[in-house]
Amino acid sequence: MLSPTEAFKTKECIFCKIVSGTLPSEKVYENDNVFAFRDISPQAPVHILIVPKKHITDVLDVSVSDSAVFQNLFQAAQQIAAKLGIAGSGFRTVFNSGDHACQTMYHLHLHLLGGTQMGGSLVG
């Protein structure tokens, strides 16, 4: 029998379906551990979501054995920022976790935002 996490992954998770190609996305980067695509409702000229291929729900769900995945998330951010021309001008990287952070997609994702001057507030 599938664990609740595995059942969610196979039946419900939109980002798992994007990773597997069952749902379409505008892919910008992929390696063995992570997949990155353009956000469907961008909040900046560049708004990319970088997700682990493995279903991890949020930051609370990350374990020590996922260290390679985390390394890959940040390597992907560096490479995508360079590829999309925002490494020099600057960019923001954000993980939302839970209600107060307004997390809506319960598959861990690193937002990569750039291409414009952003405000200084991280909470408003």
123 near ligand DGP, rule: CB under 6 A: no
14 near ligand DGP, rule: CB under 6 A: yes
Burial of 8: CB neighbours in 10 Å, binned 0-12, 13-18, 19+: middle
Q: Which of 102, 119, 122, 123 binds ligand DGP (CB under 6 A)?
A: 102
22 near ligand DGP, rule: CB under 6 A: no
- 100 labelled catalytic: no
37 near ligand DGP, rule: CB under 6 A: yes
Rounded distance between C-alpha atoms, residue 50 and residue 36, angstroms: 4
| CB distance 56 to 108 below 8 Å | yes
Nearest to 95 by CA among 80, 85, 106, 87: 106
Using only the alpha carbons of the chain, give its radius of gyration.
Answer: 14
105 near ligand DGP, rule: CB under 6 A: yes
Work out how close the CB of 105 gets to ligand DGP at its nearest, in angstroms, rounded to a whole number.
Answer: 4
Considering only 39-47, 62-70, 72-80, 115-123, which stretch makes contact with ligand DGP by CB under 6 A?
39-47
Rounded distance between C-alpha atoms, residue 89 and residue 117, angstroms: 9
Q: Which residues bind ligand DGP (CB under 6 A)?
A: 14, 25, 37-41, 49, 96, 102-105
Residues catalogued as catalytic? 109
